[in-house]
Amino acid sequence: MECNVPTDIVFSFSGLALRGGLKGPHADGWGLALYQGKAVRTFLEPCAAANSPLATFVRENPIKTLLAIAHVRKKTRGRVALENTHPFVRELWGRHMVFAHNGTVRGVRKHPIGRFRPVGDTDSEYAFCVLLHLLERAFPKGYPRSQRALWTKIAELGGRLGRDGTFNFLLGDGRHLFARCATKLSYIIRKAPFRAATLADDDLCVDFSEVTTPTDCVAVIATQPLTRDEVWVQGTPGEMWVFRNGKLQSTLASR
């Protein structure tokens, strides 16, 4: 989720958590990263989100944020363990970078990772380290002044690493949310006039007109649509979206 005003992720996270072992097979861990400026607070557990007391606590004690990344894991590489639970967090340019991946990148370990080191043994975390190393090499003086240069480089690197396998990912830097589609990805932007929405996997419904202002913009990105009565935009494999201030800023080729 990426938005222009601090917003809680309770509704979307409730739908995602159901897919973590109840309405879906992703029962091998869950995580949530919530930005506050350049830093994130994270919640991680190597168990199913659908029956996690911690996930329930997060839903019942909402924290507002401008940018959140959540993940429910179905393991393909790496055992079920805390260190293998997404999203992963690293420092680059004096800010937290957050990464979540869906898929398998089989040939990623042929790439150098520089100063970045994986804690676990997943291809996902290794790919994140590769991505950060290449970004640091591309912009050695710090966070790039040109937003467009950063967007283009991430899209380029996503395409390069994507040749090694399936590289659906979400990447946050505290200012932007980058979402690369390798197989399937969807997004919706909620803005005025707001209406009610119902989760796809439950009967939970929220009337957003009662909890928003006319200037609010909230972008929600998911592998599959989280609601049954809203129109989601479907991603095209080999493209990357860039979101900021609750809006889609750019769609870039990432092949």
Domains and their CATH numbers in the chain: 2-253 (3.60.20.10)
Average of per-residue pLDDT across 125-132: 98
**What confidence score (pLDDT) does residue 45 get?**
94
> CA distances (Å), 123 to each of 57, 76, 112, 167, in order?
30, 9, 13, 10
**What confidence score (pLDDT) does residue 27 get?**
75
**What confidence score (pLDDT) does residue 220 get?**
97
Is residue 115 predicted with pLDDT exceeding 70?
Answer: yes
Across the chain, mean pLDDT equals 93
> CA distances (Å), 99 to each of 59, 130, 219, 238, in order?
21, 12, 17, 18
For residue 142, count CB atoms less than 10 angstroms from its CB and return exposed for 0-12, middle for 13-18, buried for 19 or more: exposed
- Are 247 and 217 contacting, i.e. CB atoms less than 8 angstroms apart? yes
pLDDT over 90, % of the chain: 81
Cα 210 → chain centroid: 26
Is residue 26 predicted with pLDDT exceeding 90?
Answer: no
Neighbours of 106 (CB within 10 A): 13
Average of per-residue pLDDT across 115-144: 97
**Reported confidence tier of residue 23, pLDDT bands at 50, 70, 90:** low
Is residue 38 predicted with pLDDT exceeding 90?
Answer: yes
Looking at residue 182, its amino acid is A
Non-local CB neighbours of 194 within 8 Å, separated by 6+ positions? 207, 208, 209, 212, 216
**What confidence score (pLDDT) does residue 24 get?**
67
The Cα–Cα gap between 216 and 245 comes to 9
Beta bridge partners of 207: 196
- Are 242 and 176 contacting, i.e. CB atoms less than 8 angstroms apart? yes
Range with lowest mean pLDDT among 21-35, 139-153, 170-184 = 21-35
**What confidence score (pLDDT) does residue 21 get?**
67
Is residue 184 predicted with pLDDT exceeding 80?
Answer: yes
* Segment 42-85, tens digit of pLDDT: 999 999 888 889 999 998 999 999 999 999 888 777 788 999 99
